[in-house]
Amino acid sequence: MNRLFDTHHFRQSRQAAPVWNMTPLCADRPAQPVKVCVPGTWESIPGMGNYRGKCLYEQKFDGCGNMRFYFEGVSFRARVLVDGKELATHYGAYTGFDAIAPELESGTHLLQVEADNSWGDDSALHIPNDYYSYGGITRPVLIENIGDAYLTALHITTEKTAEGWLAHVEITAQSLLDTDANYAITLKIEGITANKIPQPLPVFLPARQQITLRHTIHCCDVTPWTPSAPHLYPVKAHLSNGSAVIDDLIERFGFREIRLQEQHILLNGEKLTLKGFNRHEDWGAFGCSIPLAAMVQDLKLMQDMGCNCVRTCHYPNDPLFLDLCDEMGMLVWEESHARGLNEKHMLHPRFMEQNLLCTREMVAQHYNHPSIFIWGCLNECADDTEYGADCYRKTYQLLHELDQSRPMTAALLERKGGKVYGDSDVVSINLYPLWYYEGNVKQQLDQKLAEIDANGGGNKPFIVSEIGAGAIYGNHDPLNESKWSEEKQCTILKAQIEAVLSHPRCSGIFLWQFADCRVCEETFYGRPRTYNNKGVVNEYRQPKLAYKTVKDLFRK
């Protein structure tokens, strides 16, 4: 399953068989295929816990005609071949991509995927970092039959007007034909009454090209999406060639409006106070390939602690997790991939291309999730240099071009200069008083806010995007004096949360972090267990004492 709802009723779309043959492509490992489960990470396989390199995944499939293969995520470089012919390559673990095999003869064919998580000069975003870049086909794979033309995207933007709700629909169709042809698209939002029954929209598709149509539906009897009543609507599009339906695409969305008013973030006109966590996609035994039931548990634990939001630090998340957030009313800060890149990293010749590609793919693929209330990018990069600030501005600009219905922000490091406070919609700061350095949390917030106000961020909402402290699960110090004890973590978190939530200028807090996560050994030897241990649950979701501290304060 790649989504929590059917995305097609007409198109033949199935998940690839879960067991694949996988062969490590490395001179010092036996080139013997082993059976592995997809989705999954190879680090879960005994003997491959630290493998950094390439593996070849293979499976046979039956097919004929035009076939499409959709990969929700391969970590972190991918090469896709059918019957030995390369069809697609992709960089970046956290966004989906497809490969089309045109006009296959009827019969059994071979699908091969080369996944590669080795560091390299071509990689600007995946570098040794304070989280682990796992290897493998880590998210679901779909195998689909498509015709001569098919629907590639369906985006809904909802707008609240004095007369009621509007749904602005953008739908994209792609031709695989060598000649121009005429088609028609019909659209239907299930569960609403529209003031006009939508008629088929004519679409002329030039040979091998794609066309995007725009259409606005005036909707009556709408139940808006809110965190306490997360009402969702399916929208169905059909593509026909005059006589018959040839493809369909189903998406799901919610009617809701995000607006900024001076220093506040409003959801459907009501002021938001955000209380949530930063969450890495990482789970002890499964790495970044988290089973659905474990995702549900994560959300239930966070909601039990009184959270209304989660930040997908530091990359786009599995759409299944976002679907769950839509259904469970959890607000999401979704972020494009980049963490802690200094100016040298940002000067990498591929950096901007890879950063903007990931940003584009994130917005295109996750546009319809009503739970996503803000886009983030470039966590703690070099916002203090002219060149770095320019990279921020270009990324912000792209986010604005791609989506005018949501604000954007970036989690900036407290101790940096901050040339870009005036450029984002919301100003967000990561700070670690009482953990990395001593001090008074309120005073540090006041100081930072004075600097932000004096540098263009004064009339904007302000979020504490990271704050927290570490503890090793099971390590106790009843005297509450030593770092890494569960008791000390509670003391620090209590002071941090109280200071932030009582500060009149703060729209919210994202604690660092929900669960302990594995880090790369190359640069983070200083982290005990080679884990970032600032979770309030450990990597197996066993609660530390801080779980109750957060719950008491968030639920107060």
With tokens 């749904």, the residue in question is 167
When the beta carbons of 43 and 130 are compared against ligand ADA, the nearer one is: 130
Residue 460 lies near ligand ADA (rule: CB under 6 A): no
State how far Cα 502 lies from the chain centre. Answer: 30
Q: How far is the CB of 430 from ligand ADA (least distance, A)?
A: 4
Q: How far is the CB of 299 from ligand ADA (least distance, A)?
A: 21
How far is 315 from 359, CA to CA, in rounded Å?
9
Amino acid at 134: Y
Q: How many angstroms separate the Cα of 11 from the Cα of each of 99, 152, 187, 407?
A: 16, 12, 16, 35
How far is 552 from 555, CA to CA, in rounded Å?
5
How far is 207 from 204, CA to CA, in rounded Å?
10
When the beta carbons of 326 and 466 are compared against ligand ADA, the nearer one is: 466
Question: DSSP string of 398-436?
Answer: HHHHH-SSS-EE-EEETTS--S-TTTSSSEEEE--BTTT
Q: What DSSP element (H or E) covers 171?
A: strand 164-175
Q: How many angstroms separate the Cα of 166 from the Cα of each of 121, 219, 401, 446, 511?
A: 47, 6, 20, 41, 36
The 392-431 site mask, x for binding ligand ADA (CB under 6 A), equals --------------------------------------x-
When the beta carbons of 43 and 380 are compared against ligand ADA, the nearer one is: 380
Q: How far is the CB of 139 from ligand ADA (least distance, A)?
A: 21
CB atoms within 10 A of CB 121: 8
How far is 169 from 274, CA to CA, in rounded Å?
29
Of 11, 126, 139, 339, the one binding ligand ADA by CB under 6 A = 339
When the beta carbons of 72 and 466 are compared against ligand ADA, the nearer one is: 466
Q: How far is the CB of 300 from ligand ADA (least distance, A)?
A: 24
The 116-155 site mask, x for binding ligand ADA (CB under 6 A), equals --------------x-------------------------
Residue with the CB atom nearest ligand ADA in the bound state: 130
Of 134, 512, 514, 554, the one binding ligand ADA by CB under 6 A = 512
Q: How far is the CB of 521 from ligand ADA (least distance, A)?
A: 15
Select from 118, 122, 155 the least CA-distant residue to 25.
118
Q: How far is the CB of 337 from ligand ADA (least distance, A)?
A: 12
When the beta carbons of 254 and 470 are compared against ligand ADA, the nearer one is: 470
Handedness of CA 297, 302, 303, 304 (dihedral sign): positive
Burial class (CB within 10 angstroms; exposed 0-12, middle 13-18, buried 19+) of 184: middle
Contacts of 120 by beta carbon, 8 Å cutoff, 6+ apart:
none
Of 123, 379, 424, 538, the one binding ligand ADA by CB under 6 A = 379
Query: Are 343 and 387 spatial neighbours (Cβ–Cβ below 8 Å)?
Result: yes
Q: How far is the CB of 344 from ligand ADA (least distance, A)?
A: 18
Of 380, 383, 425, 487, the one binding ligand ADA by CB under 6 A = 380
Residue 466 lies near ligand ADA (rule: CB under 6 A): yes
State how far Cα 476 lies from the chain centre. Answer: 35
When the beta carbons of 116 and 130 are compared against ligand ADA, the nearer one is: 130
The 73-112 site mask, x for binding ligand ADA (CB under 6 A), equals ----------------------------------------
The 280-319 site mask, x for binding ligand ADA (CB under 6 A), equals ----------------------------------------
CB atoms within 10 A of CB 495: 16
With tokens 């697609």, the residue in question is 88
Select from 112, 98, 113, 89 the least CA-distant residue to 67.
98
Q: How far is the CB of 465 from ligand ADA (least distance, A)?
A: 8
Q: How far is the CB of 413 from ligand ADA (least distance, A)?
A: 6
Residue 516 lies near ligand ADA (rule: CB under 6 A): no
When the beta carbons of 41 and 430 are compared against ligand ADA, the nearer one is: 430
When the beta carbons of 247 and 516 are compared against ligand ADA, the nearer one is: 516
Q: How far is the CB of 512 from ligand ADA (least distance, A)?
A: 5
When the beta carbons of 130 and 487 are compared against ligand ADA, the nearer one is: 130
Q: How far is the CB of 448 from ligand ADA (least distance, A)?
A: 14
Of 236, 252, 311, 534, the one binding ligand ADA by CB under 6 A = 534
Q: Return left, alpha or beta for 12; rule: phi > 0 is left, psi -120 to 50 is alpha, else beta.
A: beta
Query: Are 75 and 138 spatial neighbours (Cβ–Cβ below 8 Å)?
Result: yes
Four-point Cα dihedral 122, 125, 131, 135, nearest 10: -50
How far is 140 from 268, CA to CA, in rounded Å?
34
When the beta carbons of 59 and 533 are compared against ligand ADA, the nearer one is: 533
Amino acid at 514: F
Q: How far is the CB of 536 from ligand ADA (least distance, A)?
A: 13
- The sheet carrying 258-261 orders its strands as 258-261, 264-267, 270-271
Instruction: List beta partners, residue 413.
Output: 430
When the beta carbons of 223 and 447 are compared against ligand ADA, the nearer one is: 447
Of 532, 535, 547, 550, the one binding ligand ADA by CB under 6 A = 532
Q: How far is the CB of 414 from ligand ADA (least distance, A)?
A: 9
Count, residues near ligand ADA per rule CB under 6 A: 9
Under the rule (CB under 6 A), what is the footprint of ligand ADA? 130, 339, 379-380, 430, 466, 512, 532, 534
